[in-house]
Amino acid sequence: MADTSLQATSETSADPWVHLVGQSEARARLEQAATNPVHAYLLLGTRGSGTFTAALGFAGLLLASTNGDEAARLRAIQLAVAGKHPDLIVVEPEGAGLRVSEAEEIARASQRTPNEGDRKVIVVVGVESIEEAAIGKLLKVVEEPPPSTVFVLLAEEVPPEIVTIASRCVPIEFGPLSIGELEQYLIGTGIDPERSAIAAVAAGGDLERAKLLATDDDLANRAELWRQLPSKLDGSGLAVFDAVEQMQAGMDAATVALEARQATDVEELEARVEQLGERGSGRADLVARHKREVRKLRTDELRFGLATLARAFRDQAIAVNGFGPEADTAYQALEAIQQAAENLVRNPNESLLLQDLFLKLSPSQDRW
C-alpha cells in the first residue's frame, strides 16, 4: 500500500496515475480499457515496475465511471489511488503464496453487493505464487464473476500453473523502468543528482529498490569498490581472492537493513506462536520468504556491481575513442561482464561467479 505521504497526495489529486512512473503504453491501454471494461485483467511486470500503483489508478477509473457527477468521479479516483475506496478490495498473500482460504475469501468478496455505484474492483497481488490447491477456486471465480465485479490480477510472470487463469484475463505488460526514468523520479523527490544517478543504475528497473538505495548512505562506497576493481586486479590469484572478499563484504553490509526488518517479522511470529500456538503460524512460509528476499537482494547487488563495472570499462573505451589495444581490452571485458550478468538467472554460486569473472578481467591472464 502507499505510504502516508503518497496517500496525502492521492487524496488531493484527480490524476489516477499520480504515483505511476513511466509505463506510458500500459497506461494508455488501461485508460482505453476503463471505457468498456471486461471481467478480468492481468498486469504483468517485475517488482517495482508499477503494476500495483497502476492497478489502483485503473480501479479509480473503473469506479469513477459508474458516477455521473464530476465531484463523485474525482472522489472515487482519489480514494482508489489512496487504497481507501469502499468498493476496492486488495488481496495480498499473507504467506509465501496465495492460499485456499484467501482464494475462498476472494470468491465471497466477489459476490457481495458494491457499497457505492454498481461496480467493485478486486486487486489480487502475487498470483504467480498461488498454491496448487487454490488454483481451481480462483479460476472459477475469475472466469465467472458477477457482472458487478472486475478482477485486476498482478503477477511478475506466468508460470505453467497459472496459464489457465491468465487465459481468462486481458494481459497488460509493464517493462522495467529505464535508468533515466528512475533518475528523474529520484531527482524530482529532492534526492541529490549524483546519488540519484547511482541509485538508478543500481535499481535494475525497480522503482521501490531505487527509492531504498537513494537513502542508503553506503551505496556510493559500494559503487566505488566496483569502479576501482580494474586497478586492483594485477593478475595474481591473491588480488582476485581479495576482490571477491571485498565485494561479498559489501553485499553483506547491504543486507543489514533487510535482516533487521526480518528479525522484527520473526519476533512478531514468535509472539503469535506464544499466544495461539505453532499450528498454522506460517513459520515455514516466513523462513522461505526471508530466504527469497535475501537471495533477491544479493542478486540485485550483483547486477548493480556488474552494471557499475561495465560503465567503468565503457568509459575506458570512450577515453581512447574506441580504437586500439586498450579499447579492445575494454570490449572484451564488457563481454565477460555481460556473460556473468546473464549467468545470474541460473542462481550460480556467488563466489565462483565472481572468481571466474575477476580472473578474466585480470591483465596478465591469457583469457581471451
Q: What is the DSSP letter of 121?
A: E
Q: Which of 123-127, 159-163, 324-328 has the lowest mean pLDDT?
A: 324-328
Task: Flag whether pLDDT at 28 surpasses 90.
Answer: yes
Average pLDDT over residues 320-348: 85
Average pLDDT over residues 347-360: 91
Give residue 300's pLDDT. 83
**Best CA proximity match to 200, nearest among 225, 217, 183, 176:** 183
Using CA atoms, how far residue 314 sits from 217, 311, 317, 356, 357, in Å, is: 26, 5, 5, 20, 16
Q: Cell numbers of 50, please?
A: 508499477
The radius of gyration computed from the CA coordinates of the chain, to the nearest angstrom, equals 24
Q: What is the sign of the dihedral through the CA atoms of 348, 351, 356 and 358?
A: positive
Q: Where are the domains of the chain?
A: 4-173, 179-215, 216-361
Judge contact between 97 and 128, C-beta under 8 A.
Answer: no
**pLDDT tens figures, 217-253:** 787 788 888 988 988 888 888 999 999 999 999 888 8
173 dihedral zone (left: phi>0; alpha: psi -120 to 50; beta): beta
Average pLDDT over residues 18-37: 90
**pLDDT tens figures, 95-112:** 667 888 888 888 998 888
Position 41 confidence tier, pLDDT thresholds 50, 70, 90: very high
At residue 222, φ and ψ (nearest 5 deg) are: -70, -40
Task: Flag whether pLDDT at 2 surpasses 50.
Answer: no
Give residue 7's pLDDT. 44
Distance from C-alpha of 308 to C-alpha of 287, rounded to nearest angstrom: 32
Task: Flag whether pLDDT at 5 surpasses 50.
Answer: no
**pLDDT tens figures, 163-195:** 999 999 999 999 888 888 999 999 988 888 888
**pLDDT tens figures, 62-89:** 988 766 678 888 888 888 888 889 989 9
152 dihedral zone (left: phi>0; alpha: psi -120 to 50; beta): beta
**pLDDT tens figures, 245-259:** 999 998 888 888 778
Judge contact between 175 and 29, C-beta under 8 A.
Answer: no
For the purposes of burial, counting CB atoms within 10 Å of the CB of 261, is it exposed (0-12), middle (13-18) or buried (19 or more)? exposed
- The model carries a pTM of 0.65
Task: Flag whether pLDDT at 57 surpasses 90.
Answer: yes
**pLDDT tens figures, 246-299:** 999 988 888 887 788 788 888 888 887 887 777 656 677 678 778 877 887 888
Give residue 154's pLDDT. 92
Comparison of pLDDT for 31 and 320, the residue scoring more: 31
Give residue 95's pLDDT. 64
Q: Cell numbers of 367, please?
A: 583469457
Residues 6+ apart with CB under 8 A from 60: 16, 76, 77, 78, 79, 80, 81, 85
Residues 6+ apart with CB under 8 A from 303: 202, 204, 341, 344
User: What CATH topology corresponds to 4-173?
Assistant: Rossmann fold (3.40.50)
Q: Cell numbers of 246, please?
A: 571485498
Cell 546519488 sits at which residue?
Answer: 195
Q: How far is CA 141 from the centre of its chain?
A: 27
Judge contact between 223 and 229, C-beta under 8 A.
Answer: no
Distance from C-alpha of 259 to C-alpha of 78, rounded to nearest angstrom: 35
Average pLDDT, the chain: 84
Distance from C-alpha of 294 to C-alpha of 350, rounded to nearest angstrom: 13
Q: What percent of the chain has pLDDT over 70?
A: 92
β strands within the chain, DSSP E: 40-44, 88-91, 120-124, 149-155, 170-173
Task: Flag whether pLDDT at 366 surpasses 80.
Answer: no
Q: What is the DSSP letter of 278?
A: S
H or E segment at 166? helix 163-167
Most confident range, picked from 2-11, 58-67, 68-77, 133-142: 133-142
Task: Flag whether pLDDT at 140 surpasses 50.
Answer: yes
> How wide is the angle at C-alpha 127 spanned by C-alphas 204 and 144, nearest 5°?
140
Task: Flag whether pLDDT at 344 surpasses 80.
Answer: yes
Average pLDDT over residues 18-34: 90
Task: Flag whether pLDDT at 197 surpasses 80.
Answer: yes
Task: Flag whether pLDDT at 131 surpasses 70.
Answer: yes
Residues 6+ apart with CB under 8 A from 12: 78
